[in-house]
Structure 1
């Protein structure tokens, strides 16, 4: 059983926090979800992103997700792996040096990291992606490339593993993304 840290924030993509949070626990892992400046029992708002034939995804109000750990209590060394869901949260979380330091810890320690959709924005802000093949929502391809990574153009229901990093374009990839991540745990 792995101890997994999940970093999220307001307007995280609903499925991309709910599904891995629950599925990884069902697999027997301990998952602690945190948000900067929030504590255990606080909630964050989620957003539901859907693919309805428009030029980009649509966004609808999601749920209130209850955090089960306090950001202030996080000690990265206590965790075996990291999950970074997408949505709009990574856009502003990448401005928080404390979050970037956590991401760096997992990447530099070569611990398993699972990133999906816009979560690649946070990854690209924290570390060089040189030598890494990374998938993300296609609108994040420039950031992956600017961070030195090779953007993996894969189907929306697929995932890619590069070393100890598993990435995927969006929530339709959950079965493959979670299967590949679990294989690293």
Structure 2
């Protein structure tokens, strides 16, 4: 796999307007260059986590974006990964961004289990450089992991704050299962789930 850092600028460009990422980078709102650099660092870390405990995919031209999946993991692995991520976030995000991250994740984590099937694979991040969108790159990036999940009989889920992305995910078999107003960001997000597809 190409070095993850090649994809992180595209992820920052694609996702900078997402309410979640705006909230966690709020300490750098006065400096767009620094804000994108902080988000790029966040995405780089997240891609490493996905490579260790899920799936990390980049297109043939890695500067165009990436997809990061997290798969169910054993309790000890989860504890180790969570502690390492907490330390990274404390060193990378500003104090307000870190507090926002913790509040938003706590809110979302409490609601996902009400509609997400046990053992679901989580599409954590998908971002394509704005200039390269609408070329089918995102669908091609997701296809291998969706096929793998289908073969394993595993459901998938995601959470999105971006209404225009809903139709894209629906075309891949995801369906909206719940909508929540997240109070910290002041934005609504959807939980979308996809059952495993079985061959006819």
TM-score (norm. length: structure 1): 0.34
| Structure with the largest fraction of helix | 2
| Structure with the largest fraction of strand | 1
Structure of higher CA gyration radius: 2
Q: Which has the higher contact order (CA 8 A, sep 6+)?
A: 2
TM-score (norm. length: structure 2): 0.32
